[in-house]
Amino acid sequence: MNLSAFLAENAIAVENVKFAASKRFMGEDNKPILWEIKTITGTEDEALRKACAKRVPIPGKKNQYQKETDYDQYLGKLAVACTVFPDLNNKELQDSYHVMGAEALLKTMLTPGEYADYVQKVQEVCGFDTTLQDEVDDAKN
């Protein structure tokens, strides 16, 4: 067995993906402006998940807690972390929508349907075969 195929310099790079998140943002050519999405590392993803986790008391069990992840918050943070263009941290862009923060900007810029499609595309770029929302829906059923 040859482990050299696993070396970082031999791994095939994951290319950024261009995606028309909305038909409402038009370029000079009257075509939707493409957003650029990148993937993140497993370490970055773990940090996002931890940032969205909270301890919740277990009903009927005193002083016992379980960890729950706020998946809506996680998906918002994931979408922001993976967005290369437009720069969601741009102050001028945030000011134009009267919001503070990249997550608030993304949710304000896009309609609910556009946002859902964008988050789904981000998950696809990151290699999730099934979306987290699918998993949440399965868990509820």
Task: Please report the domains of the chain, with CATH numbers, ordered by start residue.
Answer: 11-39+76-131 (3.30.2220.30)
Supply the pLDDT for residue 65: 82
Q: What is the DSSP string of 78-94?
A: HHHHHEEES-TT-HHHH
Residue 137 — very low, low, confident or very high, per pLDDT cuts 50/70/90?
A: low
Structure tokens at 85: 């263009």
pTM score of the predicted model: 0.80
Per residue in 35-89, pLDDT (tens digit) is 999 999 999 999 999 999 988 888 888 888 888 889 999 999 999 999 999 999 9
Where are the alpha helices (H) located in 58-128, listed in sequence order?
Answer: 71-82, 91-96, 102-109, 112-125
Per residue in 103-135, pLDDT (tens digit) is 999 999 999 999 999 999 999 999 987 655 565
Instruction: Using alpha carbons only, give the angle 126, 131, 71 rounded to the nearest 5 degrees.
Output: 95
Tell me the CA distances in angstroms from 75 to 1, 64, 65, 80, one per residue in order: 38, 27, 24, 9
In this structure, the number of other CB atoms found within 10 A of the CB of residue 105 comes to: 24
